[in-house]
Chains A and B, each alone.
Chain A
């Protein structure tokens, strides 16, 4: 089993969910996943979902909820949780910019539609990129490179995502009004914790 490929897929999934509003096509893809019922147990049984078409569901329920948990009331940015003054750092002093720069990546904030590169969705996508790099190293049988990349992944989780994502995701799980985001938050949190254990060799 290609664990690294699965990990990259999971990071892609949760990154997408928290980075922008849902759309009917993506939702259809999620609902079509084999593990949909496992990942989204409450959402899959949600009565409203069963009587509403996807477009309406997205527009009337999911996106309203997303606005609430990701734009208006909860703050999905690392620096908000980690700076003393609880301000989002939008400039060059943002804690993840130097990490991205170090590996030659730049965040297209316009495309991401976020105010700074330490948004949870962006950081999750960065993890996906690292996993894909690891996957390539494994395919090339470059064991040392694969181990080095795993170490980078572990470091990034420890120094960045795990410093704030659990707080944010717990809040989402508590405050979201739709089972979709409640389920997604639980999935994301559990996966992050488990992946960290995995990377730590436990």
Chain B
């Protein structure tokens, strides 16, 4: 058509075109060629090849054209900036310092690109030498930069203003030495008492540690039982199941080689534990054809991409897994073969112990788990018994229990996937179902039964193994560098009831979320004191470390109430890089470093190998490489941060060493100094090179490589890791339990110990035992004539039958089991989620799923990252299924009142006001609202007497709230959005160049209600973890209600805590000798046998 309508431009009438329209004139004549200058500077317009990262040899001196400046026109037009060509494109002159991300637990490698001229980090990238993160990071890794140069960074140590009360928000500036002097005196006078009570008056309360073993040593070297982890609000439900099966803290999958990626919740693939590393490995597996199933009431990103999404009713997953076990046991494969991996089950599951325990078999019979006693003790009879035991978990049952009506076809597909994957099933049982619910730990128990029956727990290629084989922890092993000359502190002689109350002997981790409740519960203290327990009235020192329990723990107002009580917590200080709700109520806020500002060793079980990574203060390392020397080498990190203008930001290794050597035990009379004073010069604290030389040299392959690379160095292991940031000590660790124990005909050699054959006794299950310090200890297991290292359990096998649960009064749950009908659900309430559908009676009653992670947010730490807030900001709505919304007349955007009701105490906790979003991405009957959002502050900024600037408080991440609380009821309401708060501040005085875009903050609203404040504590009676999910009643909010409003009856919440504790637990009694089975020691601080002894215990001899 174009040709047909051709007009003759050049010869016809059209040729009379006016030349009225000028071209734009975009060409200029080339006068000189900056490209030539560029070439001489070593830069080309377009590189010939692309490098993933610069080679290691160039990290100390790497020049790169500035990407931002390039936008002015690139070097073909502007040339490279030189004194002769000042208009050229700027060249950054970098020292690239490796470090480790500290935002989540994964420990991905980072590199900090430090500009030598400005002494600032210009960007954070990945570390290509880190074999698990492989040079990649998620948004949170790159977010480190905006956290580092946060306009509201706390620039120096702050102390609550003398004369003010906790929470008034009045602060003064102090030096680190002033703070250490005050803290040192308090600790010193506490420790000088030396009695049992004083050893229970210090608690070091650690948020996500992101290091391996240092934190434990704080109370350990002080000789006190004072460590509280955050684990029981995090993942302890899952860990309980792993500990029962394998006496190992968690499992460790080989994602990359699996045929089936078996996920309960979105963790691993899109948001949770080890997410960035796992997601990459899962993607590799799927590319090779692996299938993925996601069991989750919510259609997460992972579920959306999975081959199969099974939205089981939350907390009922155990029923689903036992259904799979039933089919594996009772059905045959395509060729008529058994689906059970008999070789694995027969050799590696502790069935013999169960078959010999007639008393227990009788209990199973009495409880109608089975209909008859097994005919003999053979393996065949064991399998026969299992077939009957799990037969009731059939399709009808699972559909009713998991509320999967209409989705039967999915269950069929799931079973096919499990069968097709053979022993290559990789899973990571973590959070969600396991921490959301009462009895959540049984999810893990029953899921691992499926894997065990298929042989996937063998830990072979593509299967699932256990974490301690895939991790190398040396951060708590520096004693070769200090005056004690390799000697560790002795075990602590006391047991602190605050972290570990007598009601929870088997708790996976510390009951840290009950700390304020226990401290304020005089009745409880008195009850146990009468029974011989020595419980202090109060704590002398409470130290949260990068932790914000006020906001992230349930029942936040109870925390505030307790923190305000100076008679219960005498001195408190938070080692915290950011402002937080908890800091607001502390005596000191001591600013410690973020990912690129501190030393830690970290290793995590994200693949079947042992990698170690080294977190470092990038500015310090860069300065030292440029020739700078600190005045005091024991405080080099603090000095470097001050020199580079970051502020008086310190790190913990140097802080604790200085605090203890100079202020807690300066003359060594408390016997503590020697663990922190340098061996080279005992008059001063240990230095970082000394500390990490000692720690890293414990890894033989690393040591060998370091000594080869730095033959003339005094600290080769330190320097090796300083320059690389990561090392892989061992790869391809498969089936480690099948490693043979060395035996030379006379001696067995196990883990560095030697045992003569005459000392070794073999029992009739093939387990080899020796006597050690008055206790029996197993060292291996003999199978078909060979002695293997075995698993970590006392019987060296995987424990289908957990016999020690009998002693601790939970015999009925010693095998994977789940109630089969409503009556059993009442009897076996400890295994039934507190948000079970049995409890949902009315139309507007729901289970609220609270604990899915957001891929760009990380609880406390990321609140003031501009980058992360910008990509994540939303109103964190309440997801409600479209059918439920329709029934209740709710539309998108409607304000709803979410009332939280406890199903044990029957009490109502209060409510929060949130926005409803009807969606098909949650199942009917189940709401979803992540508890990872909803930060708040009570002041936009604080004034520091004598300091010219105001200190902003969480300016880019938290709206301003007003709060009232009277000891029983608390209320909160937002009064100003983020944008308003930021704009009101004249300007950012900190890191001005980096924060000149603060006027671009467009998110002005709330980031969701603070639902954790309303949530009462739900301590699981066995695992001790907080069961996060809630039963809620929803209704349309009233005209007077506003989004973000919170109303809490925390007096009711206190009663709910007591109800869960007193109605559900089975506390220690006179028949139980130890406060906890000795073979599963308390994590963190090592305690002596004396500490483990139950003060109530009466032996038969004494009774007689």
Contacts and interface: CB of A to CB of B under 8 A. Distances in A.
Given A104-B30, A111-B26, A125-B27, A5 B19 contact: yes
Contacts of B76: 92, 97, 106
Contact of A190 (B2, B21, B23): B2
Interface string A162-202: 00000000100100000000000010011101110010000
B24 interface: yes
A105 B77 contact: no
Contacts of B6: 190, 193-194
B10 interface: yes
Interface in A92-144: 92-93, 97, 100-101, 104-112, 121-122, 124-126, 128-129
B27 A38 contact: no
Contact of A108 (B10, B16, B27): B27
Interface in A59-94: 91-93
Interface stretch (A8-16, A49-57, A147-155): A8-16
Interface string B9-21: 1110111111111
B10 A194 contact: yes
B5 interface: yes
Contact of A12 (B13, B15, B22): B22
Given A34-B17, A110-B73, A92 B2 contact: no
A26 B14 CA distance: 19
Contact of B24 (A1, A97, A125): A125
Contacts of A92: 44-46, 76
B1039 interface: no
Nearest to B19: A9
A145 interface: no
A33 B17 contact: yes
A35 B22 CA distance: 16
Contact of A38 (B11, B14, B24, B72): B14
| Majority-rule SS of B interface residues | loop
A104 B17 contact: no
Nearest to A7: B10
B8 interface: yes
Contact of B9 (A20, A105, A173, A194): A194
B842 interface: no
A100 B46 CA distance: 17
Contacts of A110: 72-73
B941 to A, nearest CB: 41
Given A101-B30, A112-B26, A106 B77 contact: yes
B886 interface: no
B46 A121 contact: no
A2 to B, nearest CB: 9
B787 to A, nearest CB: 59
A128 B26 contact: no
Nearest to A33: B18
A146 interface: no
A198 B10 CA distance: 8
B826 interface: no
A7 B24 CA distance: 16
A105 B27 contact: yes
A38 B23 contact: no
Contacts of A7: 10
Contacts of B21: 9, 12-13, 16, 26, 29-30, 33
B7 interface: yes
Interface residues of B, number: 34
Contact of B15 (A6, A33, A128, A129): A6
Contacts of A9: 17-19, 21
A35 B14 contact: yes
Given A15-B24, A92-B44, A190-B6, A109 B18 contact: no
A89 to B, nearest CB: 8
B711 to A, nearest CB: 43
B14 A107 contact: no
Between B6, B9, B44, the greatest number of chain A beta carbons within 10 A of the residue's beta carbon is seen for B9
Contacts of A104: 29-30
Contact of B20 (A3, A29, A105, A124): A29
Nearest to A92: B45
B41 to A, nearest CB: 15
Given A3-B15, A9-B19, A110-B73, A93 B46 contact: yes
B26 A35 contact: no
A186 B7 CA distance: 10
A12 B77 contact: no
Nearest to A186: B2
B19 A12 contact: yes
Contact of B27 (A32, A100, A189, A194): A100
Contacts of A109: 73, 77
A132 B253 CA distance: 71
A15 B23 contact: yes
B24 A10 contact: no
Contact of A106 (B8, B11, B28): B28
B24 A3 contact: no
Contacts of B14: 35, 38-39
Contacts of B22: 12, 16
Contacts of A189: 2
Nearest to A198: B10
A19 interface: yes
A122 B26 CA distance: 7
A177 to B, nearest CB: 19
A162 to B, nearest CB: 13
Between B3, B23, B46, the greatest number of chain A beta carbons within 10 A of the residue's beta carbon is seen for B23
A35 B27 contact: no
Between B2, B3, B46, B72, the greatest number of chain A beta carbons within 10 A of the residue's beta carbon is seen for B2
Contacts of A129: 27
B26 A125 contact: yes
A104 B262 CA distance: 63
A105 B28 contact: yes
Contacts of A16: 21-24
Nearest to A122: B26
A10 B23 contact: no
A201 to B, nearest CB: 13
Contacts of A19: 23-24, 26
Nearest to B24: A19
Interface in B48-85: 72-73, 76-77
Contacts of B7: 38-39, 190
Contact of A193 (B3, B11, B77): B3
B9 A190 contact: yes
Interface in A25-43: 26, 29-30, 32-35, 38-39
A35 to B, nearest CB: 5
A104 to B, nearest CB: 5
Contacts of B24: 15-16, 19-20, 111-112, 121, 125
A170 B21 CA distance: 23
Given A92-B46, A93-B46, A109-B77, A128 B9 contact: no
A128 B11 CA distance: 18
Contacts of B73: 109-110
Contacts of B2: 170, 173, 186, 189-190, 193
B10 A128 contact: no
A1 B15 contact: yes
A190 B10 CA distance: 11
Given A91-B46, A92-B76, A101-B30, A11 B23 contact: yes
18 contacts: A5-B19, A6-B9, A9-B17, A12-B23, A16-B21, A26-B21, A33-B21, A91-B45, A92-B44, A106-B27, A107-B27, A108-B77, A110-B73, A111-B24, A121-B26, A128-B23, A190-B5, A190-B7
User: What 6 pairs across the A-B complex have the smallest Cβ distances?
Assistant: A91-B46, A9-B19, A92-B45, A12-B23, A112-B26, A33-B18
Given A39-B17, A191-B9, 20 more contacts: A6-B15, A6-B19, A9-B18, A13-B21, A15-B24, A16-B21, A26-B21, A32-B18, A33-B20, A38-B13, A39-B14, A91-B46, A101-B30, A105-B30, A106-B76, A108-B26, A111-B25, A190-B5, A193-B3, A194-B6
